[in-house]
Amino acid sequence: DQQVKQNSPSLSVQEGRISILNCDYTNSMFDYFLWYKKYPAEGPTFLISISSIKDKNEDGRFTVFLNKSAKHLSLHIVPSQPGDSAVYFCAAAGGGTGGGNKLTFGTGTQLKVEL
Amino acid sequence: DAMVIQNPRYQVTQFGKPVTLSCSQTLNHNVMYWYQQKSSQAPKLLFHYYDKDFNNEADTPDNFQSRRPNTSFCFLDIRSPGLGDAAMYLCATSRGGNIQYFGAGTRLSVL
């Protein structure tokens, strides 16, 4: 039972254009959402997050939008750069036990930004 | 630079031969996590330590154990690796909040 879904395994975008990565979730207990970026041979790196009390969070070229009623979030990258080529993981937190919040990850979307 | 370090980066073991993966951190975070990630799948939490308190996920096989001798170090022990345990193992830390900081991972091969 996959509670966090990234239905697009890959996305190809031209440099300078907008990249939109999507994520859906099913668990209503999730109250915090994160995006991680992963380059080959490296661990996931935290990129941006959003609390469920907000619907938008922006950090430079990166913006995350949250639609709670649709249980959907998206990451927008504008403008896209070749260095943005990586795997992007969506993760959700909430309802954890035992101290230390548990993250539930999606399967990732491979973004390729082409020149 | 404060960081999460995993050793070794690549580990090859034989079917049934115990193996230990290591994680250390200089962030002084009180929570440490172990994830298993198989190809094209989502990272899956195996267990985590909140300080010295061990929290096992319900579906983590008994074959997987962990030790945290101090704040800085955490080990993942696989008692009898099977072919299905070949995966990337990721260690992460946090201050107890939602944001976790990951090491580069150890890729385990089982022959």
With a cut of 60, say whether residue B66 has pLDDT above it. Answer: yes
* Per-run averaged pLDDT (10 residues), chain A, 115 residues: 91 98 95 95 94 96 97 98 97 71 94 96
Q: Which of these, B43, A40, A95, lies nearest to B34 by C-alpha position? A: B43
Q: In angstroms, what is the C-alpha Rg of chain A?
A: 14
- pLDDT value of residue A101: 81
For B98, the domain range is 4-110
The CATH number of the domain where B50 resides is what? Answer: 2.60.40.10
- Per the structure, the count of domains in chain B is 1
With a cut of 60, say whether residue B102 has pLDDT above it. Answer: yes
With a cut of 80, say whether residue B4 has pLDDT above it. Answer: yes
Choose from B98, B101, B107 for mutation: most chain A CBs within 10 A.
Answer: B98
Q: Concatenate the DSSP letters of all residues of B2-21 into one string.
A: --EEEE-SEEEE-TT--EEE
Domain A4-114 fold? Immunoglobulin-like (2.60.40)
With a cut of 90, say whether residue B62 has pLDDT above it. Answer: yes
Q: Which residue of A has its CA nearest to B56?
A: A98
**A78 CA: distance to closest CA in chain B (Å):** 23
Distance CA B47, CA B60 (A): 8
Q: What is the tens place of the pLDDT at every residue in B81-101?
A: 999 999 999 999 999 889 999
